[in-house]
Structure 1
Amino acid sequence: MPDLAAVERTALLTAALRAAESRRPDCLYSDPYAEAFAGEIGPGLLDEIRAVTFPPERDRTLPSTPDYNAIRTRFFDDFLTGVACDPGMRQLVIAPAGMDSRAFRLDWPGHVTLFEVDRPAVVEVKEQVLGAEVPRVDRRVVAVDLRAPDWETRLVDAGYEPTRPSTWLLEGLLYYIPEADAHRILDRVRALSAPGSAIAADVVNAAALRLPSMKGLLEVFARWGCPWLFGTDEPEEFFARHGFSVQAVQPGEPGADFGRWPDPVPPRAVGDVRRVFFVHGTPATR
């Protein structure tokens, strides 16, 4: 089995979080593949996150990563299955796909093709774990880095049609890459998005990268070799610069709570607080 780079290993953390969520009696979703995807490494990564998030000797100051991940997964589950109900929406792209199992655990209409894009090492590990498992959708795997100059060509070679509407999910990506890369990727996604397309993503705000209260969590990711690098306080404006008209909702707000977010949600006008945004929308009319 190939070694995974630092950022790629965060896919194992996400898998461990999803496995833990699936064991809860009040789980927001069930992922029967997550434990196998997490393997031996994922639980250890999760233990490190839990240790800094829930310190036994003092009150929690960091966001609850388990609750956040549960809400994020469910929010994007609902988003993807909702857009897939449209008979005209035949293409879904999850990039990066990591150890995502939506192709196997969710019900999909027959007209949908789901493309999973991620680095070759991640794809190799994932396919080894899946073995002979059969997806519930026409699943196309594209083993390519989103920073590669030819990833669009590789996607088209797998059957993606740029002239047809598509839905893109950029989950767990933008805060791990430099701002310049975030701009480039969104420009390239927009170029592939025909009228009638949709997009969703998660992104942190700028304060989440520098607040002292975030230090413990940021230090863990930096120690792993995958520091958080990008955040924006105005996600709507950021996506608009790349031709998308989006809405941004925070965990704990209506539609992104599911009875699980444990912290207050300060109004957007309040500064110097950590925030995460779930962004979703469509290409702007030209």
Structure 2
Amino acid sequence: MATIKNGRRRTIRVAAEHQVGGEPHRLLRNAVDAASLRFRETNLPEPLFVDAYAGCFLSSLAESAETNLISSSRYCLATKFIDDKLMSIVNGVDGPRQIVLWTDGMDTRPYRLSWPRSSFIFDVSPAGVYELARQRLKGVGAKIAKTCMLLHVPYESSDRQESLRMKGLSGSIPSVWAIQGLPVMNLAMLDDLLVMVGSMAMKGCTFFGELSVRLWEPGFENYKSDTQKWVDKLFMSHGFHVDIVAYDEIARNLNRGSPGGDHGSILFVAQQLRLSDDQMERWRLEFQRIEEAADEDGFEEM
């Protein structure tokens, strides 16, 4: 079990050994560890954010060990960055009302952030973790705003793109995509993710969040010396312009100290440069209509 101490000196231990599918679940442990970091941050005198629901995933016990403060700082800076970026985008002029969150299953953003009316929030995450989290959140009275809708798509789905479509996601209207905590374990999985986002996100849409640089497989050992180069190459191959955001920069903007430590993850902001599949289909149909109309006009002139 992972353990932490909160800002009020009360000790809690993370209940990371729940059973999912009859066996201890690594994905569940990771999700609960992340929730424990949000709980700890929430209970600081001046927190970066407040997650009133993170505690419902934890269990109180008597003893604990110290949390890794470096990982805590980096994770909480990333959480704050993603929160603010989401709110800035959806509350902007003509902000998107389709929000796709790639999460560990215990993401509380649908409940704790102030979403605009008529927002459709899609949570793509491990089904077992999400279901446990849903039960815990229901138990503490967490609710989505009545004017919004939360829809879950199991990460294990054999066709996540079709599952999102079946839930109502449209590639012909604006959307925003964010990732934090989703267990993308290697470059092949990230490549699949970029293919799907590139297929469903309209031109100009934003995809951003936090990714583990441990994704890089053998042959990418030099990523630390030129991370931007590798990220540029990968994202551009799928039609995205991408920028890496430094944790130190976020810390300075928030008047926090540098998180330091090993760069085990990166923050990125990418913009879709291509048309989505739905946009391409609409363009194809319009082009076909114009051609057919031109053929009819030519026939009448003869």
Q: TM (normalized to structure 2)?
A: 0.71
- Give per-residue Cα distances to partners, 1:90-146, cap 9 Å, x unaligned: 10010125211111111111132111111220121011111142213623232412x
Structure 2: how far apart are the matches of 1:284 and 1:40? 48
In the other structure, the counterpart of 1:139 is: 149
Structure 2: how far apart are the matches of 1:208 and 1:156? 30
CA contact (8 A) 2:121 2:149 kept: yes
Shift of 1:148: 3.4
Shift in CA distance, 151/120, structure 1 to aligned 2, threshold 3 Å: same
Shift of 1:67: 0.9
Query: 1:238 is paired with a residue of what secondary structure?
Result: helix
In the other structure, the counterpart of 2:168 is: 159
Structure 1: how far apart are the matches of 2:257 and 2:201? 33
In the other structure, the counterpart of 2:83 is: 77
Of 200-209 and 252-261, deviating more is 200-209
Q: Name which of 176, 197, 210 aligns with 1:202.
A: 210
Q: TM (normalized to structure 1)?
A: 0.74
Q: How many matched pairs?
A: 244
Q: Name which of 35, 39, 48 aligns with 1:15.
A: 35
Shift in CA distance, 49/250, structure 1 to aligned 2, threshold 3 Å: farther
CA contact (8 A) 1:170 1:202 kept: yes
Shift of 1:39: 4.1
Shift of 1:168: 0.8
Which one-letter code corresponds to 2:227 in the other structure?
Answer: D
Which one-letter code corresponds to 1:10 in the other structure?
Answer: N
In the other structure, the counterpart of 1:107 is: 114
Unaligned runs of 5+ in 2: 1-17, 276-302
Tell me which of the two structures has the higher relative contact order, counting C-alpha pairs closer than 8 angstroms and 6 or more residues apart.
1
CA contact (8 A) 1:21 1:29 kept: yes
Structure 2: how far apart are the matches of 1:263 and 1:159? 39
Which one-letter code corresponds to 2:270 in the other structure?
Answer: G
Cα RMSD for the two superposed structures: 3.2
Q: Does 1:247 align with 2:243?
A: yes
CA contact (8 A) 1:71 1:260 kept: no
Structure 2: how far apart are the matches of 1:169 and 1:207? 18
Unaligned runs of 5+ in 1: 55-63, 211-229, 266-272
Q: Does 1:283 align with 2:272?
A: yes
Structure 2: how far apart are the matches of 1:256 and 1:282? 25
* % identity of equivalent residues: 23
Point out the structure with max Rg over C-alpha: 2
Query: 2:122 is paired with a residue of what secondary structure?
Result: strand
Shift of 1:251: 0.5
Structure 2: how far apart are the matches of 1:2 and 1:206? 27
Shift of 1:275: 5.8
1:267-282 paired onto structure 2 within 5 Å: 274=263, 276-282=265-271
Shift in CA distance, 254/103, structure 1 to aligned 2, threshold 3 Å: closer
Query: 2:46 is paired with a residue of what secondary structure?
Result: coil
CA contact (8 A) 1:67 1:260 kept: no
In the other structure, the counterpart of 1:57 is: none
